[in-house]
Amino acid sequence: MSAQKKSRRMTAPQIQARKGGQPIVCLTAYSTPMARILDESVDLLLVGDSLGMVIYGLDSTLGVTLDMMIAHGAAVRRGVEKACVIVDMPFGSYQASPEQAFRAAARVMAETGADGVKLEGGTEMAETVAFLSRRGIPVMGHVGLMPQSVNVAGGFRSHGRDYKEGERIRQDALAIAEAGAFSLVIEGTVEPLAREITEMLTIPTIGIGASPACDGQILVVDDMLGLFTEFQPKFVKRYANLAEDIHKAVESYAEEVRGRQFPAAEHCFGAVRPVRVVGE
């Protein structure tokens, strides 16, 4: 008998089967320690290309590379025992052709151990979604506000406000679902439209700035923990204020180092003699 440990991780088909059931809890993650903390409470962890902004301080997600996604994807996967792990395909790694997308996605799957990939796009990406899905790569779609397309979309703004744009998002969602995606992120889209798409599709929708009617919700973990504070989109709810807690902790540390209260005897090896301060 194989000595291989049986995985109890949630799979993409199991996420897909949650359509219309208990809401799917998703967060982003970028590192092993954070993934370990989040794993027990969520169904799915997305290694989002938002890491370009929240981890690397870039202005957008456009500068994120495949190697960066693979390094963080593998780190997150190492911290997870239960959640489904999906890795974002970065800008430029999949848009040229289905073959280019397959080569990049195959690297992600093989080098990270992830359960699937996510890519942005609508009707124009449907062929690629079908190409990957038929070759064994579970794909999560992403429509509405697509951060990799901010330069043509006119910045970070809500989508689907007029009939023409709403109709395009509806067609995009349908095309990606019909192409075989196992789930679909709807980002920054007016609530009635996100609700309508959720009712129309047979795969789960995951909302971010979308609708409580979506089959699941996702937030960028650094946003909801108050770690990334440069700006706060309307759709973010802060559940903690860790930047403030870190600031307070570091101030205490700095004060104790300057006052020679740290390290104390219990932090040292061997007997501690009083420090002679030059000039005192």
Question: Which residues, 6+ apart, have CB-to-CB distance to 246 below 8 Å?
Answer: 227
CA gap 269, 205 in Å, rounded = 56
Whether 109 contacts 68, CB under 8 Å: no
Is 220 a binding residue for ligand KIV by CB under 6 A? The answer is yes
- Minimum gap (Å) between residue 233 Cβ and ligand KIV: 10
Please report how many Cα atoms fall inside a 13 Å half-sphere around the Cα of residue 108, on the Cβ side: 34
Is 48 a binding residue for ligand KIV by CB under 6 A? The answer is yes
Is 196 a binding residue for ligand KIV by CB under 6 A? The answer is no
- Minimum gap (Å) between residue 275 Cβ and ligand KIV: 48
Whether 27 contacts 46, CB under 8 Å: yes
Of the residues 40, 111, 127, 187, only one is catalytic, namely 187
Is 218 a binding residue for ligand KIV by CB under 6 A? The answer is yes
Q: Is 255 a catalytic residue?
A: no
In the structure encoding, which two tokens stand for residue 134, read together? 């038929």
Is 29 or 126 the residue whose CB approaches ligand KIV more closely?
Answer: 29
Whether 236 contacts 41, CB under 8 Å: no
- Between 198 and 217, how does the x/- string for binding to ligand KIV read (CB under 6 A)? ----------x---------
Is 189 a binding residue for ligand KIV by CB under 6 A? The answer is no
- Between 68 and 107, how does the x/- string for binding to ligand KIV read (CB under 6 A)? --------------------x-------------------
Is 50 or 211 the residue whose CB approaches ligand KIV more closely?
Answer: 50
Identify the residue among 49, 115, 172, 196 touching ligand KIV (CB under 6 A): 49
Identify the residue among 10, 16, 24, 50 touching ligand KIV (CB under 6 A): 50
Instruction: Report the alpha-carbon angle 132-86-229, nearest 5.
Output: 135
In the structure encoding, which two tokens stand for residue 63, read together? 């500068």
Radius of gyration of the chain (CA): 22
- Minimum gap (Å) between residue 86 Cβ and ligand KIV: 10
In the structure encoding, which two tokens stand for residue 112, read together? 């990270």
In the structure encoding, which two tokens stand for residue 15, read together? 């996420």
> Phi and psi for 78 in degrees, rounded to 5?
-65, -25
Q: List residues near ligand KIV by CB under 6 A.
A: 28, 46, 48-50, 88, 185, 187, 208, 218, 220
Residues with a catalytic annotation lie at: 187
